[in-house]
Amino acid sequence: MTIIDIIEKKKRKQELTHEQIAFVIKGMLDKTIEDYQISSLLMAIVLNGMTLDETVYLTEEMLNSGDKIDLSSIEGVVVDKHSTGGVGDKVTLILAPLLASLGIKIAKMSGRGLGHTGGTIDKLEAIPGYQVELSREEFIKQVNDIGISIISQSGNIVPADKKLYALRDVTGTVDSIPLIASSIMSKKIASGADLIFIDVKVGSGALMNNLEDAKKLANTMIEIGKRFNKMVICILTDMNEPLGYAIGNSLEVKEAIESLNGYGPKDVMELIVSIASLVLNKTKNIDMDEARDMCMKQLTNGQAYNKFKQLVEYQHGTIEDIKIASKVFSVKSPKSGYINEIDALSLGEVAREIGAGRLTKDDVIDPTVGLVLTHKTGDYVNENDELLKVYLNEKDIKIDDILKCFNISSDKMKKVPLIYEILD
């Protein structure tokens, strides 16, 4: 068997065997296969796809390339939640403590942001002192003690994904359903949870731009889950406009705190309550309406926020010390009309430009900067009304780059739904 035969086979749209996929992953890691050969195979996969069997073999080989976390010493159903990435997506910061306050065990390993999308670990690091790195023992002890821990993916979890993802990122081969599904699922299975909840974002600010592809991705991940005896639930949600109002790490933590106290933005609250009630329904067999009431209660009686505080304090963070950039700039509407579009992708890029995100893995982010929208799509604005506030330090912004993100017109367009579909 040679890598050239395997590339040729995929180029001719033929199905690779388990043995061939194992050969590729092993060769990539022991460096007997060159990066350019892996890149060539990746491009053939992007163009010609993979069957479900091939995708499962790839997931299995990636999973077996590193350590697997054993969470069996945690009592009860352990839930993990993943988002395929978006702009203003602070869901984990709210959902995880809410569920933990309802007795669901959350053992979560999260990632950092890359490109225009944010990452939970960057947001948690905006809380001064918050330790994102814990040993396996500390991680499990914390979940047993307080029911929740959120740490960064560390150690030797799926090294094959680190290598593959780095190559995909620089060879235009990220947007492939089998590659995305195997990348996400290998890490989620290695992280050891029983129930994996995946928020598949759909829209301009997401990896999946249309509902059809998002469904294909969701169904592929659900099928992979079945082969590994993991329950996977996918919720397909909108990412054409940013979620909530805040984009940028400290600003998003502040918005998460407001949401944990029951007064977050409408879309954020709706998404949180929908996901949390579904988790309660699936794990505890609680009727959906009752589950929604239970979630709303926890978000208004201080319990969800108290759990968040407990999480932060246990990991040595101080909520009171969160800093926001001092230079504030208000961007005004050039005309009157309905805001029909707020382009999540472009706003994510503006936030990244001013330091809220990174272009390469090694860039240092500024947690204090970001944007806060004043409106959501569907709102009416008069000329000169504020569209958003920019919080920044030394970097400048181009107002035109921000204005380009807004489509304002005299006709009101129909708003797309926040939640498209739930698949399991």
Tokens at 289, concatenated: 């309406």
CA distance 321 to 129: 9
Q: What is the total count of residues that contact ligand URA (CB under 6 A)?
A: 7
Q: How far is the CB of 168 from ligand URA (least distance, A)?
A: 7
Q: How far is the CB of 418 from ligand URA (least distance, A)?
A: 21
Q: Catalytic: 183?
A: yes
CA distance 86 to 116: 8
Nearer to ligand URA, 101 or 186 (CB): 186
Residues 60-119 that bind ligand URA (CB under 6 A): 84-85
CA distance 248 to 260: 18
Q: Catalytic: 12?
A: no
User: Active-site residue among 168, 201, 254, 307?
Assistant: 168
Residue least distant from ligand URA (Cβ): 183
CA 233 to chain centre: 15
The stretch near ligand URA (CB under 6 A) out of 178-186, 314-322, 344-352, 379-387 is 178-186
- Residue 157 interacts with ligand URA (CB under 6 A): yes or no: no
CA distance 25 to 270: 41
The stretch near ligand URA (CB under 6 A) out of 61-69, 123-131, 142-150, 177-185 is 177-185
User: Active-site residue among 116, 123, 187, 201?
Assistant: 187
Nearer to ligand URA, 182 or 315 (CB): 182
CA distance 281 to 292: 10
CA distance 303 to 322: 21
User: Active-site residue among 65, 80, 81, 82?
Assistant: 82
Closest to 180 in 3D by CA, of 209, 150, 146, 141 = 209
Please, which residues have CB within 8 angstroms of residue 61's CB and are 6 or more apart in sequence? 21, 22, 24, 25, 26, 160
CA distance 190 to 209: 28
Nearer to ligand URA, 85 or 265 (CB): 85
Nearer to ligand URA, 179 or 275 (CB): 179
Q: How far is the CB of 161 from ligand URA (least distance, A)?
A: 7
- Residue 183 interacts with ligand URA (CB under 6 A): yes or no: yes
Interface mask (CB under 6 A) for ligand URA, residues 205-224, using x and -? --x-----------------
CA distance 214 to 400: 31
User: Active-site residue among 40, 152, 183, 191?
Assistant: 183
CA distance 119 to 111: 6
- Backbone dihedral angles phi then psi of residue 391, each to the nearest 5 degrees: -110, 120
- Residue 59 interacts with ligand URA (CB under 6 A): yes or no: no
Which amino acid is present at 263?
Answer: Y
What amino acid positions are annotated as catalytic residues?
82, 161, 168, 183, 187
Q: Which residues bind ligand URA (CB under 6 A)?
A: 84-85, 179-180, 183-184, 207
